[in-house]
Amino acid sequence: MSSKIPYVKHNNGTQIQTIGLGTYTSLGGDCERATLHAIDVGYRHIDTAYFYENENEVGAAVQRKIAEGVIKREDIHITTKLWCHFHEPERVEYACRKTLQNFGLDYVDLYLMHWPYSYVYRGDQEMMPTDAKGEVELNDIDYLDTWRAMEKLVELGLTKSIGVSNFNSEQLARLLANCKIKPIHNQIECHPALNQKKLIALCKKNDIVVTAYCPLGRPNPAEKTPNYIYDAKVQAIGDKYKKSTAQVVLRYLIEIGTIPLPKSSNPKRIEENFKIFDFKLDAEDHAVLDSYNTGERLIPMTHAIKSKNYPFNIEF
């Protein structure tokens, strides 16, 4: 089944499936079950992070599927991320090795810098260190110094590739002007309310793949939010193709140039989110979905607004 899913090639020659399983907030065995099911369905791209505290569950699922002969290690792409309290260059290799220990694997496929800003280190598990006033303790480490330490991880074979997440256009330009190894990905919040077309175009120009987190805008059935999942107009597009509104939104994100990372631990949804490669949207459908673009973020990370590396002070 997975052979029919398109792959995209990176600027370093590696390749990745054009849909991935998101795992944020999947805990307590849910993440392991979701990953097992996703692999059975045909997913070969799993996205996690040190901050999610479920690398061990992803690793256990991957190892089980390797043991069962369902996949070989090289068939599956695992992305994880360096958290903000590990940005000091001398902590980067330690952080990556700790992550590999969590997975029980000897390399990851992609290691991302989760955010361009950094926190004070107060211990491995103190992921949001706060001061006496309850404010997050920011550090002003230059992300270029962190990046240079990440480049060494590739040389050491601890990760096949490196990339960034939540970098704006200026931060990307500065990184590209100063790096030895180009980032292969920029993972950003992206959905119809924040369609990121300008940042996607810039990434494309620089041969950087965009992965989309929160692609469905964290649906809330009780409140019928976000509107692009519950509106009659999107429902009508779904009816036209015999697809759900979620499938329509994921298809839209693929067609505007991203790899969506829908998070689910529901087996039916995991399957549904994967079935988006047998239809195409037309120009009218795109016009409807474009109309939801307000630029509003679900994840503004305002606690870090005082950091000089806070990414959302400019348009894109």
**Angle formed by the axes of helices 283-290 and 245-255, to 10°?**
100
- Cβ contacts of residue 7 below 8 Å, gap of 6+? 15, 16, 17, 18
CA distance 112 to 167: 11
Q: Is the pLDDT of residue 192 over 70?
A: yes
* DSSP for 177-196, written as a single string: HH-SS--SEEEEE-BTTB--
Which residue is associated with the tokens 């920029």?
A: 186
Domains in the chain: ranges and CATH: 7-304 (3.20.20.100)
Q: Is the pLDDT of residue 2 over 50?
A: no
**CA neighbor of 300 nearest in space, from 85, 115, 51, 52:** 115
pLDDT at 298: 97
CA distance 6 to 19: 9
Out of 52, 213, 292, 310, pick the active-site residue. 52
CA distance 78 to 5: 17
Query: Once rounded to an integer, what is the mean pLDDT over residues 163-188?
Result: 98
CA distance 74 to 216: 29
* DSSP for 9-69, written as a single string: E-TTS-EEES--EE-TT--TTHHHHHHHHHHHHT--EEE--GGGT-HHHHHHHHHHHHHTT
Confirm whether residue 114 is marked as ligand binding: yes
**Inter-residue contact 131 to 84 (CB < 8 Å):** no
Query: Which pLDDT band holds residue 143 (cuts at 50, 70, 90)?
Result: very high
* Calculated CA dihedral for residues 229, 235, 236, 239, nearest 10 degrees: 130
**CA neighbor of 199 nearest in space, from 167, 236, 233, 238:** 167
CA distance 142 to 118: 8
pLDDT at 273: 97
Each residue of 60-99: pLDDT tens digit? 999 999 999 999 999 999 999 999 999 999 999 999 999 9
pLDDT at 20: 98
pLDDT at 189: 98
H or E stretch covering 160: strand 159-165
Distance of CA 120 to CAs 3, 39, 86, 117, Å?
44, 37, 8, 11
Each residue of 206-244: pLDDT tens digit? 999 999 999 999 999 999 999 999 999 999 999 999 999
Each residue of 105-135: pLDDT tens digit? 999 999 999 999 999 999 999 999 999 999 9
Q: Which tokens sit at 108?
A: 């990851």
DSSP annotation of 77 reads E
- Is residue 24 annotated as part of the catalytic site, yes or no? no
Each residue of 277-292: pLDDT tens digit? 999 999 999 999 999 9
Q: Is the pLDDT of residue 271 over 70?
A: yes
pLDDT at 25: 84
- Cβ contacts of residue 6 below 8 Å, gap of 6+? 17, 18, 277
| For the chain, percent of residues with pLDDT exceeding 90 | 97
Q: Is the pLDDT of residue 1 over 60?
A: no
Query: Once rounded to an integer, what is the mean pLDDT over residues 15-41?
Result: 94
Query: Which pLDDT band holds residue 314 (cuts at 50, 70, 90)?
Result: very high
